[in-house]
Structure 1
Amino acid sequence: MSLKHLNIAVPDVARTKAFFETYFGFRCLDVKGDNVIAILVDDDGFTLTVSNFTKTETPHYPTDFHVGFVQETTEQVMEIYRTMKADGIDVGKEPHTYGGRGTMSFYVTAPGNFMVEILCII
C-alpha cells in the first residue's frame, strides 16, 4: 500500500497551486469551478488536490502539521532552498542535518499557512 492522494484545504487555491507547480514540479490536470479545487499530479503518480469548497472559512492546521517532499540528494534540497529564497519566500535558516534522524532538511510555510518540509535522507 502507498499513499497516492492528499487534499489540502487552503484559503487561496490559485496561489497554493502555483507554489506546488513552481517548486515541486506538479502539473495541474484541472481546476474546477472558480478555483474551488485544483487537481495536481507529479511524475510518481501522486495526486495532490488543493481546495476551498465553501470559500467562507479559512482552514487552520495544528502547529506540527506538515507535508514532506523527499529529494534524492542534498544538492536538490539546497537548490529548492536557494530558488525559494531568491523568489522572496521566507525560508528561514539554511537546510541543516538532523543527526539523530539521518536527514538534511528545511521547513517553509506554504500559501495556506501550513508547513512543508523539503528533505533528503542521508
Structure 2
Amino acid sequence: MKLNHINLYSHDTEADRAMFEHYFGLRTLVVRGKKMAIMQDDDGLVLIVNHFDSKLDGFDYPKQLDILHIGFIQATRDAVDAVHARLSEDGWEMQEPHEAHGGWSFYFRAKGGYFVEVTTLTPIRPEEAYHGERQ
C-alpha cells in the first residue's frame, strides 16, 4: 500500500503553496482561490492545503490545529542545515537544528498554522520496533 495524499487545514494556503514549491520542490497542480492548493512531489504524493472553514462544522478537528505537522526527510545533516540556512536567510523564524530521536532536525511554523519538520532519517531502535500485537 502506498500513501496517496495528505490534506492539511491551513490559515494561509497561498503562503503555504509558495513555501512548499520554493523550499521543498513540490509542483502546484490546482489552485482554487484562497481556499485550496493541490501540489505533488516527485514520487507522486499529493499534498493539499485547504481553508474550508465551513467544513469544520460538525467535524471533530482538534482545537489546536498547530499540533499538526508534516516532515521532509533529508539524506544528511548538511542537507538539513542547508534547508535551515535558506529558510533563515528568507526571514523564517525557527528553532536551530538539533539531535532528536537519533536524527538531526528542526521545526518551523508554516503560515497556515501547522508545523513543518526537516530531519534526517530517524533510526528505529530494536526495542521500539512494532512486531504485531503485543500480548
Task: Give the TM-score range, shorter chain.
Answer: 0.7 to 0.9
Task: Report the structure, 1 or 2, having the larger helix content.
Answer: 2
Aligned residue pair count:
117
How far is the alpha carbon of 1:65 from its aligned partner? 2.7
The CA distance in 1 between the partners of 2:54 and 2:89, in whole Å, is 31
- Following TM superposition, where does structure 1 have runs of at least 4 consecutive aligned residues deviating by more than 2 angstroms? 53-57, 59-65
Please give the residue correspondences for 1:9-48 in structure 2 after superposition, counting only pairs within 5 Å: 9-32=9-32, 34-48=33-47
Q: Which deviates more from structure 2 when the two are superposed, residues 74-83 or residues 2-11?
A: 2-11
Structure 1 unaligned blocks of 5 or more: none
The letter for the 2-side match of 1:2 is K
Against the structure 1 CA distance between its residues 119 and 81, is the aligned structure 2 distance closer, same or farther, given a 3 Å change threshold?
Answer: same
Identical counterparts, % of pairs: 35
Structure 2 unaligned blocks of 5 or more: 123-135
Deviations along 1:30-60, one digit per CA (max 9) or x if unpaired, are 112x232111001111100111134798x85
Say which one has the larger Rg: 2
Task: Report the structure, 1 or 2, having the larger strand content.
Answer: 1
TM-score when normalising by structure 1? 0.84
Against the structure 1 CA distance between its residues 28 and 63, is the aligned structure 2 distance closer, same or farther, given a 3 Å change threshold?
Answer: closer
The CA distance in 1 between the partners of 2:66 and 2:105, in whole Å, is 18
